């Protein structure tokens, strides 16, 4: 296996039809792969919420608030799992952006531009300031917010169940 990076194209290089077709196929393959990761991420998130709900119901039925406290491990587990998937998914973003830039600059094609248009609409930079698992995964707001809310809800249940 080689350690070479994918080549980039400059304005001076005109793409022939074969190269353009390969880039198009790679682009749509990467977009499909990113969407497949999204499907898995939603499944992970749904399982985490279901597990948290089950712990709360069990804690209420048993009238044992300690179950809610111990149940905080469920969202933590799913948070770590989802953050790994998000980190892997974000590994495809630079290449998608590179292909879109190639289409625009080399071929003067305004589309497809799914990635760059999304970044522009949401005012996101294409290259994040911080990179790595912690920033792309664990501390990515699209990942951690739901799990923090689940943990807060479990801690509230832990304190509230003895009062019920």
Q: What is the pLDDT of residue 86?
A: 92
User: Counting beta carbons within 10 angstroms of the beta carbon of residue 75, is it exposed (0 to 12), middle (13 to 18) or buried (19 or more)?
Assistant: buried
Enumerate residues 6+ apart whose C-beta is below 8 A from 157.
56, 59, 60, 65, 68
Q: Which two tokens stand for residue 95?
A: 């290449």
Collect the ranges in the chain with pLDDT lower than 70. Answer: 1-14, 125-130
**SS3 of residue 129 by DSSP:** coil
Could you tell me the pTM of the whole model? Answer: 0.78
What is the per-residue pLDDT for 125? 65
Residue 2's pLDDT is what?
Answer: 46
**Could you give phi then psi for residue 79, rounded to 5 degrees?**
-60, -50
Where does 65-113 have alpha helices with state H?
A: 65-70, 73-90, 93-105
């Amino acid at each position: 296996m080689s350690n070479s990076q994918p080549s980039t194209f400059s304005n001076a290089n005109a793409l022939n039809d074969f190269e353009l077709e390969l880039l198009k196929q790679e682009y749509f393959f990467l977009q499909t792969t990113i969407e497949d990761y999204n499907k898995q991420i939603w499944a992970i998130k749904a399982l985490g919420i279901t597990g948290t709900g089950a712990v709360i119901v069990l804690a209420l039925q048993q009238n044992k608030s300690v179950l809610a406290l111990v149940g905080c491990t469920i969202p933590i587990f799913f948070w770590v799992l989802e953050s790994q998937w998000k980190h892997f998914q974000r590994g495809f973003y630079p290449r998608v952006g590179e292909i879109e830039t190639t289409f625009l600059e080399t071929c003067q094609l305004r589309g497809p531009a799914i990635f760059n248009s999304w970044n522009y609409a949401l005012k996101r930079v294409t290259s994040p300031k911080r990179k790595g698992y912690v920033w792309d995964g664990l501390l990515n707001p699209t990942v951690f917010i739901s799990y923090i809310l689940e943990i807060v809800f479990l801690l509230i249940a832990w304190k509230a169940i003895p009062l019920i």
